[in-house]
């Protein structure tokens, strides 16, 4: 019928489908004897699956009330990837998921075999994951509600504070949510502006899902939409620089970072919006090319600060 592992999993499926089942019934379904059934039950208990048994010839078994979880058939790499992914949520501004992350990992630890639990412990013990300084924390509730509204085709309403601090109330038909450059963005058709708009999700409050339905455009491409418009989303600084680099090379390097590249005078003109200049300036310097800053003046000062720090670092003697 099955190999031993499949028989054990089949026993679990039978227990989940019924309030209780006798040893004799399990033996018949699995085409094994009662002693083998007992070994299967012990194996499931070793995996921390709560099974109660009653005495008697063959006995009877049942899952404890409230326990329903399908068996997890994961490879070692899958268990490692799942644990790593859960712990990396802070990297995309979702630190509020921390309690849920710990709960999910605890449940995995209870149902996975010991060999796979070792992969989870490896991530906990030796892998350090910390968010960068440019990652903006986002409301988990807003993200979940927005995603649910997109999936079910429902309009949403919320309060919004713009980059300049202006407050407004919006009602939109949400098309997509997307994470890029350390922030979550909500894209949708704004009913008051009669046009597509992009909203920083961390500036959204009191998001509610309405009852009015809409039809999301089937051909809407969130990634392409953001690539075309994101470089000019409101930021603390609007960057405009020229770099001595062929346009083909610049597009390959900078396009994924919401930067618009345009060929100009044997080089490339780069335009984008940034809230912090240090990281972008450092990246430009790492190219090892000639750079001309058109704006903002704060970027020139950032280069001066980096130059002073680099000079001091190069001149510093090794500690004795």
What is the Cα–Cα distance from 58 to 106, expressed in whole angstroms?
33
- Sign of torsion, CA 283 284 286 287? positive
Q: Which domain holds residue 80?
A: 76-126
Give yes or no for a cis peptide into 296 (omega within 30° of 0): yes
Task: Tell me which residue of 136, 90, 95 sits closest to 235, measured CA to CA.
Answer: 136
Return all residues near 262 (Cβ < 8 A) that are at least 6 apart. 247, 268, 269, 271
Structural domain contains residue 69: no
What is the Cα–Cα distance from 45 to 52, expressed in whole angstroms?
9
User: In the block, which residue shows the tokens 């900078």?
Assistant: 254
The pLDDT score that the predictor gives to residue 234 is 61
pLDDT 10s digit of each residue in the chain, 320 long? 456 777 787 888 788 777 788 888 888 888 888 888 888 888 888 888 888 888 765 578 888 876 665 555 677 777 778 888 887 887 777 877 777 777 777 777 766 777 777 777 777 777 666 666 567 888 888 998 999 999 999 999 999 998 778 899 999 999 999 887 778 899 999 999 999 999 999 999 999 999 999 999 988 998 888 777 665 556 778 899 999 999 999 988 886 667 888 999 899 999 888 878 998 899 999 999 999 999 999 999 999 999 999 999 988 877 66
The pLDDT score that the predictor gives to residue 160 is 95
Residues 208 and 244 in one domain: no
What is the value of pTM for the model shown? Answer: 0.57
Paired residues of 179 in beta bridges? 184
The pLDDT score that the predictor gives to residue 55 is 73
What is the Cα–Cα distance from 146 to 170, expressed in whole angstroms?
13
Length of the chain measured in residues = 320
Query: Residue 18 corresponds to which tokens in the numbers above?
Result: 């019924």
Structural domain contains residue 70: no
The H or E element that residue 76 is part of is helix 76-87
Structural domain contains residue 308: yes
Instruction: Provide the total of helices (H) and of strands (E) in the chain, helices listed first.
Output: 11, 12
Task: Tell me which residue of 43, 34, 110 sits closest to 72, measured CA to CA.
Answer: 110
CB atoms closer than 10 angstroms to residue 69: 12
What is the Cα–Cα distance from 237 to 250, expressed in whole angstroms?
21
The pLDDT score that the predictor gives to residue 233 is 59
What is the Cα–Cα distance from 124 to 232, expressed in whole angstroms?
39
The pLDDT score that the predictor gives to residue 57 is 59
Structural domain contains residue 53: yes
What is the Cα–Cα distance from 302 to 278, expressed in whole angstroms?
6
**89 three-state secondary structure:** helix
Structural domain contains residue 71: no
Contact 13, 26 (CB under 8 A): no
Task: Tell me which residue of 42, 33, 59 sits closest to 8, measured CA to CA.
Answer: 42
Residues 144 and 226 in one domain: yes
Instruction: Give how many domains the chain has, as a whole number.
Output: 4
Residues 196 and 277 in one domain: no
Paired residues of 299 in beta bridges? none
Residues 29 and 112 in one domain: no
The pLDDT score that the predictor gives to residue 1 is 43
Structural domain contains residue 44: yes
Q: What angle do CA 160, 162, 168 make, to 5 degrees?
A: 40
Structural domain contains residue 50: yes
The phi-psi region of residue 66 (left if phi > 0; otherwise alpha if psi is between -120 and 50; otherwise beta) is: left
Residues 275 and 198 in one domain: no
For residue 241, the domain's CATH number is 3.30.70.250
Contact 297, 273 (CB under 8 A): no
């Amino acid at each position: 019928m099955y190999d031993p592992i499949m028989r054990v999993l089949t026993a679990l499926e039978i227990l989940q489908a019924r309030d209780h089942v006798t040893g004799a019934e399990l033996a018949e379904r699995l085409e094994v004897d009662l002693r083998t059934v007992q070994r299967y039950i012990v194996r499931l208990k070793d995996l921390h699956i709560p099974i109660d048994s009653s005495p008697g010839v063959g006995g009877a078994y049942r899952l404890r009330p409230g326990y329903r979880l399908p068996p997890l058939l994961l490879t070692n790499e899958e268990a490692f990837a799942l644990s790593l992914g859960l712990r990396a949520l802070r990297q995309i501004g979702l630190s509020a998921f921390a309690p849920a992350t710990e709960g999910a990992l605890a449940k995995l630890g209870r149902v996975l075999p010991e060999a796979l639990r070792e992969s989870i412990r490896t991530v906990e013990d030796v892998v350090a994951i910390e968010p960068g300084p440019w990652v903006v924390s986002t409301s988990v509730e807003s993200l979940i509600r927005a995603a649910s509204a997109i999936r079910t085709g429902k309009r949403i309403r919320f309060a919004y504070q713009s980059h300049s601090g202006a407050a407004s109330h919006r009602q939109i038909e949400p098309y997509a949510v997307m994470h890029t450059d350390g922030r979550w963005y909500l894209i949708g058709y704004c009913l008051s502006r009669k046009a597509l708009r992009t909203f920083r999700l961390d500036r959204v409050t009191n998001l509610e899902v309405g009852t009015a339905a809409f039809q999301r455009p089937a051909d809407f491409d969130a990634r392409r939409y953001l690539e075309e418009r994101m470089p000019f989303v409101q930021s603390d600084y609007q960057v405009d620089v020229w770099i001595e680099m062929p346009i083909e090379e610049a597009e390959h390097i900078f396009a994924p970072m919401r930067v618009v590249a345009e060929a100009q005078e044997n080089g490339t003109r780069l335009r984008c919006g940034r809230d912090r200049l240090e990281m972008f300036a450092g990246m430009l310097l790492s190219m090892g090319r000639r750079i001309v800053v058109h704006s903002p003046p704060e970027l020139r000062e950032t280069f001066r600060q980096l130059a002073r720090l680099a000079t001091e670092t190069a001149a510093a003697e090794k500690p004795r």
